[in-house]
Amino acid sequence: MKRTITAFFAMAALAAPSLASEPVSISEIRIGDELQEKAEEYGQRELDYLATQMREALERELAGHLGENGMSLDVVILDATPNRPTMEQSASRGLHMSSISVGGASLEAHLFDAQGNELESYAYSWRSHSIRDVVGYATWTDARRAIRRFADDIGESVDEMEGSGS
């Protein structure tokens, strides 16, 4: 009898897979309007760099969940501020690389099922608290920190979906 019950539950689990067992694909990382307006100031190359950093962080956090024909994650980098001048800012405004500022990023994402229904939405924003915290930072240190934390939050959320079976 025990073997029959175990087999029944195993078949039931296979017949009705949870959403979290569906793979997740990451859509193209988009740049929000507010940040896109700064493309000329920062340089488009810098915005492409941030999008690449976002994708890499998500791929790391969702490594066990990535695939096609399942859920999709739509991510937007709403805004970002560098800690040091970008190459474009140095060239066009004469800012020296030793200049520092409080940096960070604002991000949002939406997770959709295969039918396009929104399952979850995410938002995260983080900035340095003080200019004193910025010493020794590279151009996008705070923005990358925000990106990593955001990706970690999304990864934990998808892991929880898998754990809850919903």
Instruction: Round to whole Å and give the CA distance between 73 and 120.
Output: 9
More confidently predicted of 77 and 13: 77
Whole-angstrom distance, CA of residue 149 vs CA of residue 141: 12
Q: What is the pLDDT of residue 165?
A: 54
Task: Reduce the DSSP state of residue 164 to 3 states and report it.
Answer: helix
Please report the pLDDT score of residue 13 as a whole number. Answer: 41
Domain at 100, CATH number: 3.40.50
* 36: pLDDT strictly greater than 70: yes
Q: What value does the mean pLDDT of the chain take? A: 86
Q: How many domains does the chain have?
A: 1
97 — pLDDT class (breaks 50, 70, 90): confident
Question: Within 10 Å of residue 163's Cβ, how many Cβ atoms?
Answer: 10
Query: Which range, of 61-65, 89-93, 112-116, averages the lowest pLDDT?
Result: 89-93
pTM above 0.95, yes or no: no
State the CB neighbour count (10 A cutoff) for residue 29: 22
- pLDDT at position 112 over 60: yes
Residue 91 contacts by C-beta under 8 Å, 6 or more apart in sequence? none
Best CA proximity match to 95, nearest among 80, 79, 83: 83
DSSP structure class, residue 19: G
Helix (H) or strand (E) holding 80: strand 71-81
Alpha carbons 30 and 58: distance in angstroms, whole number: 14
Task: Determine the Cα angle at 18 with ends 14 and 19, to 5°.
Answer: 140
Residue with token string 């897979």? 17
* Chain position carrying tokens 């010493």: 135
The amino acid occupying position 63 is A
- Supply the range of the domain harboring residue 137: 2-164
Helix, strand or coil, per DSSP, at residue 41:
helix
